Amino acid sequence: MKKLMAGYAPLTFASVLALSTALTVMGGHIFDGDGSDEAGFVTPPPRKETPPPPANMAGGETLIPYPPPPATPMSRSEKKNPPKPPTMFTKLTSQYGEQDWNARPNDLNNLLKSLKTMAEVDYDFEAKSFAEIDTDPDQNPILYRSGHYHWSMTDEEKKKLREYLLRGGTLILNAGMGSKPFYDSSIKVLNEVFPEAPVRRLSADHPIFHSYYSLDKVNYRAGVKALYSGSDPWLDGVTIDCRTVAIISRFGMEVGWDPLEDENIIAYEPESAQQLGMNILSYASAMRNWMQDNVKKTKFEDAKQVSVAGSMNIAQVIYDGEWKTRHVGLSILLSQYNIKTGVPVKFSTKELRLTDPKLSDAPVLYMTGHESFTLKPDEITALRNYLSHGGLLIAEACCGRKAFDVSFRETMARVMPGVAFNSLRAGHALFRMPNDISSMKITPALSKSYNNAPAIAPQILTLDVEGNTAVIYSPIGMAGAWELSPNKYCNSYLEDDALKLGVNILMYSSTR
């Protein structure tokens, strides 16, 4: 805090906050490096003050209407207070005080009331500093932080946050009234926490936009329209193992949950803010339940290096995007392939870019993702040369996500112009060895697209180059099922069938 003028009596914390807000409005910054002197900073709104009691009544008194009650109380049955709902959400405090983190004090409270009314789910929340947060998500399942200023974390705090999120916790970050310094800091911190999984904007088909309401379009206030011409919701996130563990809202949601009427605010209109908030809470709660129901045997770490050479060696493609969705699924598939066929494998996969000189050493490439992506011109050329000289690419749209599917088809049209995908028919060799596959059980989420059918015929597309199969592509997810834990929003085959199909794909790739 910058030094105040000498000669004045010490200020209370509340008066410092009031002075901070006043000076910020006048264009000066109070906290060193707080971002309040930067373009895009939005001043926190004035705090709502609780009205004082009437002048003729002390704060602890109660107004008793006349006539007074009888001297002997009448017998009555007391209504018991209902049990307190479970605490699912923790509102994080900040070093800047309530003017920053609690500028709209009823934001989360109102949103949880809406959740109770519409979804018949009753949760409570509490406020804590990050130092009070337990890395065990059972103690504080979902963290919510709203703010206006720059913020940061120490190395120890980043390590703690990473552990918390990988163990199943969820973090929701909201740029108060669209304040850019808070938004920029949120991206910076999360990129430091997960350098291997950078923050990405969530595409329109992400389940978070369809978990309760279907939000293809939202209504923004005029303040947003001056900066952004789109009408789709804007959320960024970090996704690990098909679960978005941290969510950032670029535009303010809190002033829609605890309404502040001002069209110039960089925020959602109240109704859209409520709907988006409901979706975020529904998604976070559902994924929390999924994590608890699927105690995984796998961890977020690469398989150990195996020095034994084998005939099945796969390299995963790194590209600018969410290129690694499941972290041990491919190794599990290779293990099943080894058990089923006896073919020796390298359980630890390589990871390389298409422009890597060692690309030609990999007989098989694997590519997956959730979100939209674009390959650079030199990567397009490198992949074309690789496939034209006998290489094979196995790809899948993880979780059956439409964004990746569209991008992958567009990318392959650039890699192999004029070459169309073939849809493999029942009885194809790929579906016969070593497993005879004619029907595949699917997740409930995917079943809805097939008139609630529990199973469908396998769907595999191929691209041929000079009569040889160069690309094997599944538009339906498999990797989550290979790890034995497809999530509830996943458009995927179920575990056993996904492993059988994956083993068949590997067998076919080795014999083509």
470-480 per-position pLDDT tens digit: 999 999 999 99
Residue 160: count other Cβ atoms within 10 Å of its Cβ. 18
Residue for token digits 């397009």?
380
Helix (H, G, I), strand (E, B) or coil at 374: coil
The enclosing H or E element of 318 equals: strand 314-318
More confident: 179 or 60? 179
User: How much is the pTM?
Assistant: 0.83
Cα distance between residue 67 and residue 431, in whole Å: 87
Q: Is the peptide bond before 105 cis (omega within 30 degrees of 0)?
A: no
- Is 486 in contact with 443 (CB distance < 8 Å)? yes
Is residue 5 scored above 70 in pLDDT? no
Q: What single-letter amino acid sits at 414?
A: R
- Is 245 in contact with 239 (CB distance < 8 Å)? yes
φ, ψ at 33 (rounded to 5°): 70, 20
Pairing of strands 314-318, 243-249: unpaired
The torsion defined by the Cα of 312, 318, 322 and 328, in degrees rounded to 10, comes to: 30
Residue 511: count other Cβ atoms within 10 Å of its Cβ. 9
Per residue in 373-417, pLDDT (tens digit) is: 999 999 999 999 999 999 999 999 999 999 999 999 999 999 999
Distance of CA 59 to the CA centre of its chain: 46
Q: Which residues contact 134 (CB under 8 A, 6 or more apart)?
A: 140, 164
CA nearest neighbour of 285 among 116, 447, 107: 116
Helix axis angle, 495-511 to 329-341, nearest 10°? 70
Average pLDDT over residues 200-211: 96
Q: Which residues contact 359 (CB under 8 A, 6 or more apart)?
A: 315, 352, 365, 382, 386, 391
Average pLDDT, the chain: 85
CA nearest neighbour of 176 among 76, 274, 102: 102
Cα distance between residue 430 and residue 19, in whole Å: 71
Average pLDDT over residues 333-360: 84
| Structural domain spans, the chain | 87-293, 314-511
Q: How many CA atoms lie within 13 A of 19 on its CB side?
A: 14
CA nearest neighbour of 91 among 126, 135, 50: 126
Is residue 308 scored above 70 in pLDDT? no
Average pLDDT over residues 89-114: 93
CATH superfamily of 314-511: Domain of unknown function DUF4159 (3.40.50.12140)
Per residue in 212-264, pLDDT (tens digit) is: 999 999 999 999 999 999 999 999 999 999 999 999 999 999 999 999 999 99
Q: What percent of the chain lies above the pLDDT cut of 90? A: 67
More confident: 64 or 310? 310
Q: How many CA atoms lie within 13 A of 5 on its CB side?
A: 3
Helix axis angle, 270-293 to 107-119, nearest 10°? 70
Buried-state track 181-203, b at ≥16 Cβ within 10 A, e below 16: bbbebbbebbeebbeebebbebb
DSSP E strands, 176-256: 200-201, 235-240, 243-249
- Averaging pLDDT over each range in 22-26, 294-298, 433-437, which range is the top one? 433-437
- pLDDT confidence of residue 300: 46
- pLDDT confidence of residue 311: 53
- pLDDT confidence of residue 442: 97
pLDDT band at 329 (very low <50, low <70, confident <90, very high): confident
CA nearest neighbour of 208 among 276, 290, 107, 292: 276
- pLDDT confidence of residue 346: 62
Residue 298: count other Cβ atoms within 10 Å of its Cβ. 17
Q: Do domains 87-293 and 314-511 have the same CATH topology?
A: yes
Lowest mean pLDDT among 110-124, 459-473, 490-504: 110-124
Average pLDDT over residues 85-99: 90
Is residue 7 scored above 50 in pLDDT? no
- pLDDT confidence of residue 131: 97
Is residue 139 scored above 70 in pLDDT? yes
Per residue in 443-453, pLDDT (tens digit) is: 999 999 999 99
Helix (H, G, I), strand (E, B) or coil at 383: helix
The burial of 314, by beta-carbon neighbours within 10 Å (0-12 exposed, 13-18 middle, 19 or more buried), is given as buried
Per residue in 255-307, pLDDT (tens digit) is: 999 999 999 999 999 999 999 999 999 999 899 888 877 655 454 444 444 33
Fold of 87-293: Rossmann fold (3.40.50)
Residues forming beta bridges with residue 173, ordered by sequence position = 145, 248
More confident: 419 or 335? 419
